[in-house]
A and B are shown apart, each in its own frame.
Chain A
């Protein structure tokens, strides 16, 4: 698969401070999460990819286009939802999005149509003629998303999209992001310090720490791998026949205290078959857990690494 973003020794320095330190990675996922504590360099990375900060050395490529030499072309492929409040004063919501779409190159009639569509899509259809200054925080976030998608970008940068949102508004925003992701028309980069947001929306995660790549993992693969690990809790002592029966199915099994069994399931084996074997052996399975190496585990492991590199 062609990489969406290739970081090729990207280094960004502000004065004597190194903000991004020779980043090297190839991101191919449909939705990529950028994780890291505050000051890790997430926003700087996005700003550098947008051309706001000039790399001190190295470069990055977006869809194969170098950000140093093809900055304008790169920006024509991108939609950007910034972290902070960003809007144009004294202008209605739909006019704002229309103007942004026109600046991205859409003819004015198309821009108007797309602005209306984007506003309805993000759930602000009824307030699209209201002045942006009168919007609540949640509405402003949605309006920022509308301006980011109105011109139909191929890559969407979302910088802390759920910042300051109450739970229902956050849920709506996450659903919108998931819908956009699932349509498959564009790739998205979601920068957040909220693990849950990234876990719910992304299939790849790049974890930054102090300007270095602390971890890079494919969440889909992690999830798939996790599904093959099971922990069973049976009633009473572990029946030896049951163990040999499940090993006969191809499972690797290890017994623990109080009737616990840890299993690695072979490909193609369904959980239902375990229950069938248990029933045949008169074993009662009281609990069955998929072991989950959660994003939190991955993140914490990455943060523990002393120099920020795994």
Chain B
């Protein structure tokens, strides 16, 4: 057993690099997360859909397996194309929303409730690093749920189809990667902003869904009243769907988004409006965080 001297002594050893110091926060958060059985099960359960997709890809390229199942025509039934990958991203992104609403509210609100921010920020550690550290937790989790399995599926299909398929469909890979990151950044910022403003965790989690569904409902109502399509600016899934279509297909679009992120025919908004709306949304979240993440509260 170690014997500790009951004395104070200054520290004279080496210091860690300040660049990666924000990673201390996610390291501790992941250790804590492992203690939650529910979150661990949910996280691993989120890989079921990508595993099914991998199975479909494998079976599609395995004639003997198809023969064994007696479904030789199945190859033409499910195509491994943009709809397949966008569909996978849609499902996984919805699971990521659940994950963000479970994990996100517990990030900032306990620190605010217990005045811990003054302890973080009294160190050589900035507000930006604090936010980045907290976002990192969500970004890593949601990456493993969205673009990481997406790209693995793309590589599997490329491996089975050949190099030519990969180079022909490189846009799918970039669409998966960048499309997922747009969603991840948006969710992470929103989860932290709500966590900073709503101290009660269940309420903050519920509000995550509220922002999506209530705002979408408001947008639909606005469309109905004004007989326009601009109400979709409040519908985040509509905005994300439009952006995904562009990222996956560019100008030659053949789909109208993915499951949960579909853009109704004839109600498409100009793409720049969608990007602008998402940008504004992120700026609002930044502003909310900037107001709350402070070492000391200013009472004017």
B266 interface hit (Cβ, 8 Å): no
Chain A residues within an 8 Å CB radius of B114: 85-89
Which residue of the partner chain, among A76, A89, A114, A147, contacts B124 with CB atoms under 8 Å? A76
- Decide if the interface of chain B is mainly helix, strand, loop or mixed: loop
Q: Is the CB of A149 within 8 A of B15?
A: no
Which residue of the partner chain, among A51, A157, A180, A183, contacts B295 with CB atoms under 8 Å? A51
Chain A residues within an 8 Å CB radius of B6: 120-121
Q: Is the CB of B8 within 8 A of A110?
A: no
Q: Is the CB of A179 within 8 A of B8?
A: yes
A158 and B154 CA atoms in complex are apart in Å by: 57
Q: Is the CB of A105 within 8 A of B300?
A: no
Chain A residues within an 8 Å CB radius of B298: 14, 53
Total number of residue pairs linking A and B with CB closer than 8 Å: 129
Q: How far is the CB of A291 from chain B (nearest CB, A)?
A: 36
Q: Is the CB of A47 within 8 A of B119?
A: no
Q: Is the CB of B296 within 8 A of A88?
A: no
Chain A residues within an 8 Å CB radius of B300: 14-15, 17
The stretch that binds B, out of A30-38, A95-103, A261-269, is: A95-103
B201-216 Cβ-contact flags toward A at 8 Å (1 or 0):
0000000000000000
Chain A residues within an 8 Å CB radius of B28: 91, 95, 99
For residue A48, which residue of chain B has the nearest CB? B296
Q: Is the CB of A86 within 8 A of B18?
A: no
Interface residue count on the B side (C-beta < 8 Å): 41
A66 interface hit (Cβ, 8 Å): no
Q: How far is the CB of B27 from chain A (nearest CB, A)?
A: 8
Q: Is the CB of A104 within 8 A of B123?
A: yes
Q: Is the CB of B122 within 8 A of A180?
A: no
A164 and B159 CA atoms in complex are apart in Å by: 67
For residue A117, which residue of chain B has the nearest CB? B4
A47 and B14 CA atoms in complex are apart in Å by: 27
B92-132 Cβ-contact flags toward A at 8 Å (1 or 0):
00000000000000000011011110111111111000000
Chain B residues within an 8 Å CB radius of A154: 10
Q: Is the CB of B8 within 8 A of A82?
A: no
Chain A residues within an 8 Å CB radius of B11: 106, 110, 114, 151-152
In the A-B complex, the 4 residue pairs with the closest CB atoms: A152-B11, A52-B295, A105-B15, A80-B122
Interface, chain B (partner A; CB < 8 A): 2, 4-16, 18, 21, 24-25, 28, 32, 110-111, 113-116, 118-126, 294-296, 298-300
Task: Provide 21 A-B residue pairs closer than 8 Å at the C-beta atoms, listed in order of the A residue.
Answer: A14-B298, A53-B298, A72-B18, A72-B126, A82-B115, A86-B114, A87-B114, A88-B110, A90-B32, A102-B24, A103-B21, A105-B18, A105-B124, A110-B13, A116-B2, A117-B4, A117-B5, A120-B5, A151-B11, A151-B123, A152-B10
